Structure 1
Amino acid sequence: MKGPLFYSKILLFGEYGIIKDSKGLSIPYNFYNGALKKSENLSEQALKSNESLKRFAEYIAHIDEDIVQFDIERLQHDVNSGMYFDSSIPQGYGVGSSGALVAAIYDKYAFNKITVLENLTREKLLKLKTIFSSMESFFHGKSSGLDPLNSYLSIPILINSKDNIEATGIPAQQSEGKGAVFLIDSGVVGETAPMVSLFMEKMKQEGFRNMLKTQFIKHTDACVEDFLNGDVKSLIKNTKQLSKIVLNNFKPMIPIQFHELWKKGIETNEYFLKLCGSGGGGYILGFTEDIDKAKKSLSDYKLEVVYNF
């Protein structure tokens, strides 16, 4: 048995903001993927995945049947016969490792599932998001359901607000373009749940809430618009502002060894860094108008280019 592949994703814009109704833009990242497989001789890693799947199967058996129904018997039978999730997606890196797993389980075991081939109305997208949110909460405590949605559909998703999402097209990549979106490996694994609770704690402060509304969400929304419209000049300007706002207000979410590097990018204009997912480790997302300059400036780090403009 080998299931279809589900890919990782990158939330380009909207981290934390989408909890409070900012815009967001999420794109599939085909560099990493995962698939359900079965084996009688499980490696140590496969065994770990199998154990986790057992707990996950137990969890989704108790999801409200009005939201989604699964063939739990078949799922449990497959898990007991050595099913595991074979994935190259790094965990705790903000690129949707649990999202791909959730998408794979829904695809294989959900009754009356919404398929990718249907006309994906807003209503269907929101229904999928609700289903995935309740499934992925097993991993994060609270999930928006966006990662699995992106992985399941494998198309860019535009979040206008909590109740308004749509599949979208993004400008074609410019293979000759000097501008780029890239990833830096922080070398530290990040955990979503503690970062989200830290954010919720900060939300109790009026000053932080105010900053979120008047600065963070304002520039996040502008970045999404600029990116979709292919307005590179404005995108770089707004990303710089966003990078500053994050450095000033989300410091605990940035691994300490990156604080100076973050500042250097803003001061030199050679690159601008932002959180990839909830932060705390994993990947850091970077934007630059000149990828060669950025590579030189960040020569101590391995850069993975994810999009050229």
Structure 2
Amino acid sequence: MEDIPQKHEVINWKLEQLLVFLQYCNYKESMKGPLFYAKILLFGEYGIIKDSKGLAIPFNSYKGALKSVKTLTGEAKKSNSSLIGLYDYLAKLDTELVDFDLKSFKSDIDNGMYFDSSIPQGYGVGSSGALVASIYDKYAINKITVLENLTRDKLLKLKEIFSIMESYFHGKSSGLDPLNSYLSLPILINSKENIEATGIPSQKEGKGAVFLLDSEQIGETEPMVSIFMNKMKNEGFRKMLSEEFSIHTDACIEDFLQGNMKSLFGNVKKLSKVVLKNFKPMIPSAFHKVWENGIQTNDYYLKLCGSGGGGYILGFTEDFEKAKNSLKDYKLELVYRF
């Protein structure tokens, strides 16, 4: 015969269920819009500007959503002001690619809408991209949805729309960050005219890892891109980009997607060397020796995360415990396990 639950147990269970329900209602009330995640460009920083390969993955540790409050204060007020600027920018856009419900957008801003985000700004993980994706999702008329058959043409159209939208923040944008955030899928960039959603190998509980190293400095995209474009005027830099940087980047992407981890680390080391030699202005000066140390010891290899200049630096290691020990004075955050 089954035990009959005591009266107080039944009451406790009902209270627990009620608490869960109230938490859910509270969550639903606070989360006015769907969540949009951060992104990490594993490979392809700067190269994708010049039509080489890239691979971006969603990073679910950080996210944002559109919310509204009656009284704006602090970060919410700052975000609301930023939305006013974005509204003015979109209202003046002259493009046939996309139309927005600007009346609803303005009304929501006036009623205290803001982007509530845990994505750190200036860290190379797509804070503005997530915001752009959320605005497109809510206000674009006849939008391309994530549920339809995403042909290459539709992906390219989305990328172009997002490029125009995100240019408000960076002056020039590839559109890749918002695309990744909007789809919440890994994106493989074969060239400017050839992008596709892709699959990546499942994570394993192995020793190897991809991680983020916090430089504890804010990086700004526009000045870094300007430095890069000036470097592109130099024939030697252009040659290095096509004959070394792009070749190593493409090899890393191929290895990662195929799960060839031994080969991957060899190619990441080569890429790390090329970046240290040719992209020094994009690497915070305090990390030049840290970068070199990884190459010399093989404990880890570093590369740029986004445009650089601060924010996160991306790390690869065959032994995460060893890397943590070598970098014990710095904040590390796990992205992916091999």
- Whether these two folds match at TM > 0.5 is yes
Match of residue 114 from structure 1: 144
Say which SS state the counterpart of residue 49 (structure 2) adopts: helix
Structure 1 unaligned residues grouped into runs of 5+: none
The 5-angstrom pairing of residues 1-309 of structure 1 reads 2-174=32-204, 176-309=205-338
Separation in structure 2 between the aligned mates of residue 62 and residue 36 of structure 1, nearest angstrom: 22
Q: Given the two structures, how large is their TM-score scaled by the length of structure 2?
A: 0.90
Say which SS state the counterpart of residue 100 (structure 2) adopts: coil
Separation in structure 2 between the aligned mates of residue 294 and residue 242 of structure 1, nearest angstrom: 18
Separation in structure 2 between the aligned mates of residue 12 and residue 155 of structure 1, nearest angstrom: 13
Per-residue Cα deviation, 1:231-260 (whole angstroms, up to 9, x for no partner)? 001100000000000000000000000000
Separation in structure 2 between the aligned mates of residue 156 and residue 97 of structure 1, nearest angstrom: 17
Give the CA RMSD over aligned residues.
0.7
Separation in structure 2 between the aligned mates of residue 126 and residue 254 of structure 1, nearest angstrom: 31
Q: Which amino acid aligns with 2:253?
A: V
Q: Which runs of 4+ in 1 moved over 6 A?
A: none
Say which SS state the counterpart of residue 42 (structure 2) adopts: strand
Q: Which amino acid aligns with 1:206?
A: E
Task: Name which of structure 1's ranges 126-135 and 35-44 shifts more when overlaid on structure 2.
Answer: 35-44
Q: Which amino acid aligns with 1:208?
A: F
Separation in structure 2 between the aligned mates of residue 235 and residue 256 of structure 1, nearest angstrom: 27
Q: Which amino acid aligns with 2:326?
A: S
Separation in structure 2 between the aligned mates of residue 177 and residue 64 of structure 1, nearest angstrom: 51
Separation in structure 1 between the aligned mates of residue 196 and residue 281 of structure 2, nearest angstrom: 32
Say which SS state the counterpart of residue 141 (structure 2) adopts: coil
Superposition deviation, residue 137 in structure 1: 0.2
Superposition deviation, residue 304 in structure 1: 0.6
Superposition deviation, residue 44 in structure 1: 1.2
Q: Given the two structures, how large is their TM-score scaled by the length of structure 1?
A: 0.99
Report the number of matched residues. 308
Separation in structure 2 between the aligned mates of residue 64 and residue 171 of structure 1, nearest angstrom: 41
Match of residue 22 from structure 2: none
Larger radius of gyration: 2
Q: Which amino acid aligns with 2:313?
A: I
Separation in structure 2 between the aligned mates of residue 134 and residue 120 of structure 1, nearest angstrom: 20
Q: Which amino acid aligns with 1:105?
A: I
Separation in structure 2 between the aligned mates of residue 100 and residue 110 of structure 1, nearest angstrom: 15
Superposition deviation, residue 65 in structure 1: 3.8
Q: Which amino acid aligns with 1:138?
A: Y
Kindly, what percent of the aligned residue pairs are identical?
72
Superposition deviation, residue 63 in structure 1: 2.1
Q: Which amino acid aligns with 1:224?
A: I
Q: Which amino acid aligns with 1:107?
A: D
Separation in structure 2 between the aligned mates of residue 21 and residue 125 of structure 1, nearest angstrom: 16
Q: Which amino acid aligns with 1:195?
A: M
Separation in structure 1 between the aligned mates of residue 212 and residue 166 of structure 2, nearest angstrom: 24
Q: Which amino acid aligns with 1:55?
A: G
Structure 2 unaligned residues grouped into runs of 5+: 1-28
Separation in structure 1 between the aligned mates of residue 37 and residue 319 of structure 2, nearest angstrom: 28
